[in-house]
Amino acid sequence: MRETMREAPGVGLAAPQIGLSIQLAVIEDQAEYLAHHSAEELAETQRSPTPFHVIINPTLSFVEDSTAEFFEGCLSVEGYQAVVKRALNVRVECLNERGEEITINAHGWYARILQHEIDHLNGTLYVDRMNTRTLTTGENMYRFWSKASIEQVLAQVGDTNQSSESI
């Protein structure tokens, strides 16, 4: 799974994405993926490198009510992105690759990755949570929205309609 995720390239991959009906995901946000983002973008998204790790049978809980909206994409819906509201702080209780119980307290982009991958394990895709008016190709997202704030994007599309799914 690690090689498949890296070849894509992606920052996470859940077993159901490759046809396995198990509660396992791999996660890694490599420093090289962050290189094309400005310091301001990294600060706004609270994104930093995350070392490779495995989560098995995860249980997700929200630490507080704070949320953030950002464009999100997925290897299962390749070529598209949309604005998705996610919790900023989460706790994940799971097993690691050695079967040891671990607790992960994550914030910012890392929390977003965990929520995204755990959604896969529960049969949910980001398109089930997206602001429907923001769905766009990756090419158009970069062409039209890469320099805009999320607030500007949402004001421009004129409708902040969220899916009926909650965070």
Count of helix runs (H) and strand runs (E) in the chain: 6, 8
At a CB cut-off of 8 Å and minimum separation 6, what does 158 contact? 133
Buried b (16+ CB within 10 A) or exposed e, 99-137: eeeeebebebbbbbbbbbbbbbbeeeebbebbbebbbbe
> Measured between alpha carbons, how far is 21 from 92 in angstroms, rounded to an integer?
20
From the list 100, 117, 139, 151, the catalytic residue is 117
**Coil, helix or strand at residue 105:** strand
- The verdict on whether 165 is a catalytic residue reads no
Tell me the catalytic residues.
117
